[in-house]
Chain A
Amino acid sequence: MASETEPGLVRVLPCGETALLVEVADTLTAVALARQFDHLRAAGGPPWSDVHDVVTGERTVLVIAGHLTTMTELRPAILESVSAARLPVLKLGGELVTGGNRTPAIVAPLEIPVVYDGADLLDVAALTGLSPAQVVDAHTGADWDVGFTGFAPGFAYLVGGDPRLVVPRRAEPRPRVAAGSVALAGPYSGIYPTDSPGGWQLIGRTEVTLWDLHRDPPAVLRPGMRVRFRNVGGPP
C-alpha cells in the first residue's frame, strides 16, 4: 500500500484551516502517536486543549482543532511531540517495540470470548494453509491492539495479531453480517458492532455487545486498547 513515509519518519500534511494529517510508516506507529496526542489533550493547555478529535488511520493520525488560531501553535506542538516520542517501530510479527520494551497498553487486555464456528473458517484455513484448529490457536495466541476505526460506528481494526492470519476480503461481500461476528481481512481482525453488510472472512462470533448508544463511550473497543480472544467453542 502507498506510503511515502519511511520507518522513523513523520510527515505533517495540510488538511484545511483547522486540521493536520500526520503520516507515519505503519499502523502501530500511528496508534502510538495518537495515544500520545490523547495524553497531551488530557493534560490540557494550548494548543491541545482546542483539539476535539484525533482520528487514527492505517498510516496516519488526523488532528482536528476547533479554531483557526490554534493552527499556528499546533504544527510545532505536533513536531515537538513526535520528536519527544520514542516512536515504536514495527518488527516482523507485529511486535510493538520501543528501545527493546513493548509499549504498555493503557489497560490490561480485554478478553473477548469467541465461539469459532464462522462461515468462512474453512476458507481461512485453506487460504492460510493452517488447519481450522491452528487458525483458532493463531487468533487467540497473540494479543491484538485496537488500531483505528472506520467503516461503521464502533468498528475497530485490530492490528498486531499473528501474521499467518493475513487473508483477502471475500470476493462477494455479504449483504448482512450479524453483530458480534468475529472476522479477518488483510492484516486485521475485527468484530462487527452492529448488523451490517460486510466483506470480511467470518471465523466466529461473540456475545459481547460492542456498541451501545446508551453507554458513554458507546464503543467497547477504543484506539490504544488491547484485546485477547478466548476460545469458548469450536471449531466444529
Chain B
Amino acid sequence: MIRALEVVATGPLALVEDLGRLGYAAVGVGRSGAADRAAYLLAGRLLGEPVGRAAVEVTLGGLVVRARGSLTVVVTGAAAPATVDGRPVGHAAPVHLPDGAVLALGMPPTGLRSYLAVRGGIDLDPVLGSRSSDTLSGIGPAPLRVGQVVPVGEPGAGGPTMDVAPVAAPEGGRVELTLLPGPRLDWLADPRALTATPWTVSGSSDRVGMRLTGPALSRAERWADAELPSEGVVVGGVQVPADGQPIVFLADHPVTGGYPVVAVVRAADVDRAAQCRPGQDVRLRWAVAPR
C-alpha cells in the first residue's frame, strides 16, 4: 500500500519544510527551511529518523490529515492540541496512525508553528536539493491543499527512541531575544534604543521576517541620507528600514538587502522569534553592551 497523508484541512498555512537549501545564495536563492529549526530537528530525532527528512510546518494549527497506510508521526513546536480519531494524544510524543486514522491539530495555546513529522518523511519532489517551500522566491512545494495526497517515503532502520520529549512550549508572554552586533550597528544613532523599550510583534510578520513595532529607531547623523549599497544578509539579522521599525529576518529572508543590518539575533533565539505571535511583546538585549 502507498503510504501517504491525505489533507482534509490545512488551517491558515501548512508548508513542507526541511533543513533548507545551502549553497545557492550566490544565485539569489536563500536557505529557507523550517522556521523553528530546533523544533523541526526534535521531531526527526523523536522518530529516530535520519536528519533532514521533510516535515509539515503548520501555522496556528488547523491541519487535519488522514493516514493512508500505517504511519508513525509526531508533533513538535507550538503545542497544538492533537487528536487521533477524536482521542487526545500527547505533544512531542510519537503516535501510531493506523490506515484511515485522522489526525487533527487544534489551535496551540502559545507559539505559532507546529511541526508534523512522519516516519519516512514527506516525499514530494525536491527542488535544488531541498523539499523546503520558500515563500519569498516561490521555490519548492506549494502550500498543502485540501484533498492533496502527500506521499510519505520509506522509513529507515530504527524507529522512535523516546516516548515523549520533555520540552517547554513556546513562551506566551514577553519574549527576550539576545543580540550580537551587526555589520551596520554604527548606522544607529543610539544602539541602546534597540534595548530600551519593549517591541510588539506586528501582524505583517511572516516567514521572511518578524516585524517589530515601537518607537522608530533613528539613524546616526552621518548616515542620515545615505543609501546602503545592497549587501548579503543572514537569518536573525535585525534590519532597520527607512521607517525605523526593525525586522528580524527568519527562514525565508532575502539573500541581499539595501537597509542596514544593525544587529543579529543569537541563533538559538531565532527559533524562539519564529514562534512569536502578532501582538506579543518582544524585548531585545545585547549579549555584550556595545561601546
B256 near A57: Cβ-Cβ < 8 Å: yes
Interface membership of A172, Cβ < 8 A: no
State in angstroms the CA–CA spacing of A14 and B182 once bound together: 6
State in angstroms the CA–CA spacing of A97 and B128 once bound together: 36
* Most-contacted residue by chain A among B22, B24, B232, B266 (CB, 10 A): B232
Also in contact, A55 and B25, with CB within 8 A (given A2-B229, A62-B233, A149-B255): yes
A 61-72 binary contact with B (CB < 8 Å = 1; else 0): 110101010000
Interface footprint category on A: 35 or more
A13 near B183: Cβ-Cβ < 8 Å: yes
A155 near B237: Cβ-Cβ < 8 Å: no
B238 nearest CB across to chain A (Å): 10
A51 nearest CB across to chain B (Å): 10
Interface footprint category on B: 35 or more
Interface membership of A43, Cβ < 8 A: no
Residues of A17-51 whose CB lies within 8 A of B = 17-19, 21, 23, 34
A57 near B27: Cβ-Cβ < 8 Å: no
A219 near B27: Cβ-Cβ < 8 Å: yes
Interface membership of A217, Cβ < 8 A: yes
A26 nearest CB across to chain B (Å): 10
Interface membership of A204, Cβ < 8 A: no
A217 near B183: Cβ-Cβ < 8 Å: no
Interface membership of A138, Cβ < 8 A: no
B 222-242 binary contact with A (CB < 8 Å = 1; else 0): 010011111111101100000
26 contacts between A and B (CB under 8 A): A2-B227, A2-B229, A3-B229, A14-B181, A14-B264, A15-B182, A15-B264, A16-B182, A16-B264, A21-B231, A53-B23, A55-B255, A56-B26, A57-B231, A57-B232, A58-B229, A58-B231, A60-B232, A148-B256, A149-B26, A150-B230, A154-B27, A155-B28, A213-B139, A218-B128, A222-B26
Query: Which residue numbers of B lie inside 8 Å of A, CB to CB?
Result: 22-29, 31, 127-129, 137, 139, 180-184, 223, 226-234, 236-237, 254-256, 261, 264-267
